[in-house]
Structure 1
Amino acid sequence: MGRAEERRARQRGGHRAALAQPSSRGDVGPGRGGIRRLFTWKRILGTFLGLCLLGIGGFIVLYLVVPIPKQGNEAAQRESNVYKYSDGSILARDGEVNRESVDLAKVPKKVQLTFVAAENKTFYHDSGVDLKGTARGLINTLSGKGAQGGSTITQQYVKNYYLNQDQTVTRKLKELVISLKVDQKLSKDDILKGYINTSYYGRGAYGIQAAAQAYYRVDADRLTVEQGAYLAALLQAPSQYDWAAATPTGKKLARARWNYVLDNMVEERWLDSAKRRAMKFPVPKDPKGAPGREGQKGYLIDLANKQLEQKLMKDEGITPSQAEAEVEGRGWTITLNVDRKKQAALERAVKERLTSKLEPKKRTVDAAVQAGAVSVDPKTGRIVALYGGKDYFTHYTSNATRDDFQPASTFKPVILAAALEEGATTQDGRPIGASTIYDGTSGRQVLDHGRRVGFGPPNEDRTDYGPIPVQTAMNKSVNSVFAQMGVDVGMEKVMEVAGKLGMDTKGMQPVPAQTLGSMGASPLEMAGIYATLDNHGRKVTPSIVKEAEQSSRVVKPADPIGDQVISRESADTVTSVLTGVVDDGTATTSVAANPARDGQQVAGKTGTSDFDRSAWFTGYTPDLVTSVGLFGEQPKPPYRHVGLTGATGLLPGTGRVNGGGYPAQIWADYTFGVTSRAAFDLETTQGAAVQPTPTPSDTPSPSRTPSQSPSTSALPTSEAPSRTPSATPSQSPSRTPTQTPTQSPTTKVPTVGTSDKPFDPGGQQNSGQ
Structure 2
Amino acid sequence: MERSAVARSNNGRLTQVSRPKKRRLIDYPRYGKRGIRRWIPSWRFVLGTFLTFFALGVGVFIAAYNSVTVPDDASSIAMQQTTTVYYADGKRVLGEFSQVDRKIIDTTAIPEHVGQAVVAAEDRTFYKNSGIDVKGMARALYINITQGKRQGGSTITQQFAERYYMGTNTSYAGKIKETLLALKLGQEKDKAQVLDGYMNTIYFGRGAFGIEMAAQRYFGVPASKLTVEQAALIAGVIPSPTNWDPQNNPEKAESRWNYVLDGMVSLGFITQADRANMEFPETIEYDKTNRYQGVKGYLLDGVRKEVLSKVDNMTEDDLDTGGYKIISTFDYAAQKDLQAAMKTMPDGASKNLRAAGVTIDPKTGGVVAMYGGKDYLKQQFNNATQGSAQAGSTFKPITLLAALEQGYSLDSYYNGNNGRTFDDNGTEWKPNNFGMVNWGWISLTKAIANSVNSVFVELNQQVTPQATVDAAVSIGIPKSTPDLNPVLSNVLGSATVRPIDLANAYATFAANGKRHDAHMVAKVKNADGSTRYEPNIKGKKAYDAAVGAELTYALSQVVEQGSATKAKVIGHPLAGKTGTSNDNKSAWFVGYTPSYATAIALYQSSDSGSQESITPFGGYNEITGGSVPLDIWTTYMGRLLSDKPVEQFPDRTYQPTMKPTPTPTPTQTATEEPTEEPTTEEPTEEPTTEEPTAPPTTPEPTEPPVTQEPTDPPTTEEPTIPPVDPPTGPTDKPKPPGGGGGNSGGAGGGATDKPTG
Report 1:178-577 matches (<5 A): 198-199=202-203, 290-306=289-305, 313=311, 317-321=312-316, 324-325=319-320, 330=323, 332=325, 338-352=330-344, 354=345, 357-359=346-348, 366-379=350-363, 381-421=365-405, 423=406, 431=408, 435=412, 437=414, 444-446=422-424, 452=426, 458-459=431-432, 470-477=444-451, 494-505=468-479, 511-512=485-486, 517=493, 519=495, 521-542=497-518, 544=520, 553=529, 555=531, 557-558=534-535, 560-577=537-554
Any conservation in 1 of the 2:208–2:214 contact (CA below 8 Å)? Answer: yes
Any conservation in 1 of the 2:308–2:316 contact (CA below 8 Å)? Answer: no
Any conservation in 1 of the 2:361–2:595 contact (CA below 8 Å)? Answer: yes
SS at match of 1:596: helix
How big is the shift at 1:477? 4.3
CA distance in 2, matches of 1:515, 1:107: 68
1:173 aligned partner: 176
The structure 2 residue matched to 1:593, chosen from 559, 566, 575, is 566
2:622 aligned partner: 655
Q: Is 2:145 the counterpart of 1:134?
A: no
Letter in 1 for 2:599: S
Q: Is 2:591 the counterpart of 1:614?
A: no
1:668 aligned partner: 634
1:683 aligned partner: 652
How big is the shift at 1:192? 13
1:39 aligned partner: 40
How big is the shift at 1:669? 1.3
Letter in 2 for 1:349: A
CA distance in 2, matches of 1:182, 1:230: 24
Distance 1:405 1:183, change over 3 A: farther
Any conservation in 1 of the 2:432–2:453 contact (CA below 8 Å)? Answer: yes
Q: Deviations over 1:605-638 (max 9, x none)?
A: 223345544332110123332111223356xxx7
How big is the shift at 1:91? 5.2
Any conservation in 1 of the 2:553–2:652 contact (CA below 8 Å)? Answer: no
Distance 1:678 1:152, change over 3 A: same
How big is the shift at 1:519? 5.0
The structure 2 residue matched to 1:161, chosen from 150, 160, 163, is 163
Any conservation in 1 of the 2:510–2:592 contact (CA below 8 Å)? Answer: yes
Distance 1:478 1:173, change over 3 A: farther
The structure 1 residue matched to 2:100, chosen from 97, 100, 104, is 97
1:79 aligned partner: 82
Q: Deviations over 1:488-519 (max 9, x none)?
A: 65666655544443334358786225655555
RMSD of the alignment, in Å? 6.4
Letter in 2 for 1:395: Q
Any conservation in 2 of the 1:114–1:261 contact (CA below 8 Å)? Answer: no
Any conservation in 2 of the 1:469–1:694 contact (CA below 8 Å)? Answer: no
Distance 1:604 1:196, change over 3 A: farther
CA distance in 2, matches of 1:633, 1:216: 39
Q: Deviations over 1:134-159 (max 9, x none)?
A: 3246658xxxx964558658599458
Any conservation in 1 of the 2:507–2:597 contact (CA below 8 Å)? Answer: yes
How big is the shift at 1:665? 0.9
Letter in 2 for 1:608: T
User: Which structure shows the higher helix fraction?
Assistant: 1
How big is the shift at 1:726? 8.3
2:20 aligned partner: none
How big is the shift at 1:603? 0.9
How big is the shift at 1:222? 13
Q: Deviations over 1:51-92 (max 9, x none)?
A: 578667756765676466553787744336363563955555
Any conservation in 2 of the 1:461–1:736 contact (CA below 8 Å)? Answer: no
CA distance in 2, matches of 1:434, 1:114: 78
Number of aligned residue pairs: give it. Answer: 646
CA distance in 2, matches of 1:456, 1:229: 65
How big is the shift at 1:566? 2.0
SS at match of 1:366: coil
Any conservation in 2 of the 1:408–1:517 contact (CA below 8 Å)? Answer: yes
How big is the shift at 1:351? 1.1
How big is the shift at 1:550? 6.0
Letter in 1 for 2:512: H
SS at match of 2:590: strand
1:580 aligned partner: 557
Any conservation in 1 of the 2:158–2:179 contact (CA below 8 Å)? Answer: no
Letter in 2 for 1:131: M
Any conservation in 1 of the 2:559–2:566 contact (CA below 8 Å)? Answer: no
CA distance in 2, matches of 1:753, 1:230: 58
CA distance in 2, matches of 1:31, 1:457: 96
Any conservation in 1 of the 2:365–2:537 contact (CA below 8 Å)? Answer: yes
Distance 1:211 1:379, change over 3 A: farther
How big is the shift at 1:670? 1.5
1:646 aligned partner: 615
SS at match of 1:171: helix
Distance 1:150 1:96, change over 3 A: closer
CA distance in 1, matches of 2:692, 2:542: 36
CA distance in 2, matches of 1:179, 1:48: 27
Query: What percent identity do the matched residue pairs reach?
Result: 26
SS at match of 1:593: helix
Distance 1:698 1:200, change over 3 A: farther
How big is the shift at 1:168? 1.5
Letter in 1 for 2:296: K
CA distance in 2, matches of 1:76, 1:161: 7
Any conservation in 1 of the 2:547–2:654 contact (CA below 8 Å)? Answer: no
Letter in 1 for 2:500: L
Any conservation in 2 of the 1:309–1:323 contact (CA below 8 Å)? Answer: no
How big is the shift at 1:602? 1.8
Distance 1:659 1:681, change over 3 A: same
Any conservation in 2 of the 1:471–1:693 contact (CA below 8 Å)? Answer: no
Distance 1:208 1:485, change over 3 A: farther
Q: Deviations over 1:352-394 (max 9, x none)?
A: 2x1xx334xxxxx622223222223434655443323223343
SS at match of 1:580: helix
SS at match of 2:515: strand
Letter in 1 for 2:313: I
How big is the shift at 1:340? 4.0
How big is the shift at 1:47? 5.0
Distance 1:740 1:378, change over 3 A: farther
CA distance in 2, matches of 1:759, 1:206: 62
Letter in 1 for 2:89: S
Q: Deviations over 1:655-675 (max 9, x none)?
A: 23x322211111111212332
Q: Is 2:600 the counterpart of 1:624?
A: no
Distance 1:649 1:131, change over 3 A: same
Letter in 2 for 1:503: I
Distance 1:135 1:260, change over 3 A: farther
How big is the shift at 1:269? 13
How big is the shift at 1:643? 2.8
The structure 1 residue matched to 2:577, chosen from 605, 616, 619, is 605
How big is the shift at 1:604? 0.7
CA distance in 2, matches of 1:544, 1:601: 27
> How does the TM-score come out when normalised to structure 2?
0.63
Any conservation in 1 of the 2:603–2:614 contact (CA below 8 Å)? Answer: no
